[in-house]
Amino acid sequence: MNIAAANRIEEETQTATVLLEHIFFDNPLHTLAVQGGWFRESSERFTHNPIGSSTGAQNSPQTVQIDVNERLLDGSPNPFFGRPFIGATIPSRFALPIDRDTYRAQVAYKLDPGVRSRWARWLGKHQFSGYAEYKDLSARSYQYRDVIVSNHSWLGPGVARGAAGAAAGGLPAPPNVATGYYRYYLGDNVGNNLDYGSTAFNYGSYTFNWGNGLTGQFNREQVELGLGAANTAGTGNSLTVLKTRGVILQSHWLDSRIITTFGWRYDQRYSKAPAAFRLLPDGINVDWTASNGWATGDWSMAEGPTRTAGAVVRPLPWVSLFANTSDSFNPAGIGLGMRFQVLPDPSGKGEDYGVRFNLLDGKLAVRVNRYKTTSINSRNGQSATFGTRMYRLDFSAATSMAFVLQRKATEWVQADAAADGQILSAQQLNERVAGIMKVPVSALAEPAFIVTATDDIISKGTELEINYNPTPYWTMKFNGTEQESINTNMSKDLSSWLEERLAVWQSIIDPITNRPWFTERYENQQSAAAYLEGNVTRGLQLARAMEGKSRPQIRRYRFNYSTNFRLAGITDHNLLKRFNVGGALRWEDKGAIGYLGVQQPPDIVVELDPTRPVYDKSHLYVDFLVGYRTRLFNNRIATTFQLNVRNLNESGRLQPIAADPSGNPTALRIISPRLFILSATFEL
């Protein structure tokens, strides 16, 4: 059954390309050519993925559940009792339009003085190209939610219907009833099994049953379910202009015994944030006049060069030595630090060198390569992970977890205002919430750019590749790698932000429960303290301890061997010679899946020991194939039948991928049993 059948994706793209080329001259001495082009792309993508999508719905579950409630909250029998379902909290719909224009100009020149005179060969043969490119990219993300759009005494106009627990679009947040939890039932209550896939529901009039389960007083009334705007700003919106220019020069010296390559590129990135998201007074529709523009003021700008240099030297016909070095600038989108400061753009350095051998009249080729790359100010390292998780504790736009401080503070302020008979404006609401959280009011709005943190990542290793074809009928290939990954220069912003916020978090008292917010388990979920300990504190301490050291999670060694043999090499039998057999061996080294704790049970583990990783063992995988090649229909169609068996030695198992501080597996991956694939290929 397709339990995600309710999901919908619709995409439409229009493209246009204009390319002009002209060759001014082309003769043995030199060639000059130019090229100019324009590329236009305009696309719209509509998505509604309530089932199993991390971006389509908040807390979207991955498993089928059974409705175990015999009665509804009002005491009436539950008509869905015993039926299987998939649930989705606040499912969202997205419209994602993109407009992209690219302009490119390129010139190429080739010079070979050796065609004029013998001595001129020493001047080498050279190829030069220069290019310039201009890219203009406008991307938008419009978010909508399934909400109650009709007006009621408990849900009137003037609130942001599509907001999820916080003010949005310049209007106050609605009560929780405005957005819902939806169940997609997948069968009857017989057999506890699935009978059909999920289906989308229609907007329209529905009976809404609400009341107080403690007093038994309930009301029934008709409500209108429809689509309400949730956001049109945030990290999915960007206006970016990228300007690039560069040159490449490749030269062949000494009859191509020495080949040098040099390249230079300069990138300039200009970015703007979207205008503030605004709703119309009905709280349902977008105020497009205010929302569909871009922020005023100067463009955010970053620029930098990328340089490469490489050489290949052939001292002997069967030996090649090579070396390359580069530094790069990556004009990524704008990223914000924990205090919403603009982060530097990522950059990198790389170097590699090695040797190639071509032996036994081309039957044996051996290549050895040593490399080292350094990613500077990377947003893909451990710091980014911890930064994102810390941000979730405070701000509701980042997650739907029940303890999020912005969401709870909003509830407290709204309850306090209701008790005093006040109706707060969005500005008043935000000011009071910011006061509780001890952050600027501007921090409550969804940031225009992603909030993250940076560190440096060093990757280095050695690669070996051997290709050996002892006969035209037998081919073999072997490759092996030794690799390391090292995190360095972790963001200092993380520790200072955590220390600063921890003092705030621990000081806040929930005025409704009169208990500390930090340790309260809202909606029977984990507390903010437990989330911080399990997802940030222990991991951040470990990452600090491992800074500058090779990460044991990376499997250091990997080896692969594959071969294929055609029986025509040993027999002329009309049937047997059409067969080929082969296979592969794939081996990977052990890899860490966790760390033991410094403390031992029954003590509570509050710190992980970086010197005691918990390893998943090494693995060997075996593949096999057999093929048969023939011709069909009076030799007119070449046909190949092939049977592949992947993971021949696997019977199916669970492989640990994470372990707790006691060394026990906490997550496992299903390793499928051997897979048989039979394919047929026809060639005219």
Predicted local distance difference test score (pLDDT) of residue 340? 83
Q: Which residues, including other chains, have CB under 8 Å from residue 384's CB and lie 6 or more apart?
A: 378, 452, 453, 454, 455
Closest CA to 628 of 652, 644, 614, 616: 644
Of 316, 351, 384, the position where a domain reaches its end is 316
One domain, residues 279 and 155: yes
d(CA 35, CA 106): 5
Predicted local distance difference test score (pLDDT) of residue 72? 87
Q: Tell me the one-letter amino acid at 360.
A: L
pTM of the full structure? 0.77
pLDDT tens per residue across span 468-487: 999 999 999 999 999 999 98
One domain, residues 154 and 244: yes
DSSP 442: G
One domain, residues 244 and 357: no
- Counting the structural domains of the chain, the total is 3
DSSP 634: T
Cβ atoms of 511 and 518 within 8 Å: the answer is: no
Q: Is the pLDDT of residue 514 over 60?
A: yes
d(CA 547, CA 544): 5
175: three-class secondary structure by DSSP:
coil
Residue ranges in 506-642 assigned as alpha helix (H): 528-532, 538-546
One domain, residues 545 and 579: no
Span of 162-166, 224-228, 559-563 with lowest mean pLDDT: 162-166
pLDDT tens per residue across span 258-286: 999 999 999 999 988 888 888 998 889 99
16 found inside a domain: yes
- Average pLDDT taken over every residue of the chain: 89
Neighbours of 442 (CB within 10 A): 10
Span of 46-50, 60-64, 524-528, 667-671 with lowest mean pLDDT: 60-64
Average pLDDT on 163-169 reads 68
One domain, residues 255 and 312: yes
- Percentage of the chain with pLDDT > 90? 54
pLDDT tens per residue across span 293-311: 888 888 888 899 999 999 9
321 found inside a domain: no
Predicted local distance difference test score (pLDDT) of residue 601? 75
Span of 250-254, 331-335, 488-492, 649-653 with lowest mean pLDDT: 331-335
Predicted local distance difference test score (pLDDT) of residue 675? 95
Closest CA to 237 of 99, 135, 40, 330: 99
Structure tokens at 157: 């106009």
Predicted local distance difference test score (pLDDT) of residue 55? 44
Range of the domain at 562: 552-683
Chain centroid to CA 403: how far? Answer: 25
Average pLDDT on 140-156 reads 86
Q: Is the pLDDT of residue 610 over 80?
A: yes
Chain centroid to CA 650: how far? Answer: 30
Q: Is 613 exposed, middle or buried (0-12, 13-18, 19+ CB in 10 A)?
A: buried
Backbone angles phi, psi at 69, to 5 degrees: -85, 115
Closest CA to 493 of 309, 343, 643: 343
**Does the N-terminal peptide bond of residue 315 adopt cis geometry, omega within 30 degrees of 0?**
no
One domain, residues 438 and 488: yes
Of 501, 524, 549, the position where a domain reaches its end is 549
660 found inside a domain: yes
27: three-class secondary structure by DSSP:
coil
Structure tokens at 396: 């509701």
One domain, residues 517 and 663: no
d(CA 398, CA 391): 7
d(CA 191, CA 87): 20
57-58 vs 319-329, strand pairing mode = unpaired
One domain, residues 294 and 385: no
Q: Categorize the per-residue pLDDT at 77 as very low, low, confident or very high, splitting at 50, 70 and 90.
A: very high
237: three-class secondary structure by DSSP:
coil
One domain, residues 526 and 629: no
Cβ atoms of 467 and 477 within 8 Å: the answer is: yes
CA triplet 504, 510, 515: central angle to 5 degrees? 100
One domain, residues 90 and 105: yes
Average pLDDT on 156-180 reads 72
pLDDT tens per residue across span 389-441: 898 899 875 566 789 898 899 889 988 888 888 878 878 888 999 999 999 98
533: three-class secondary structure by DSSP:
helix
310 found inside a domain: yes
Neighbours of 679 (CB within 10 A): 10
- SS3 of 132-148: EEEEEEEECCEEEEEEE
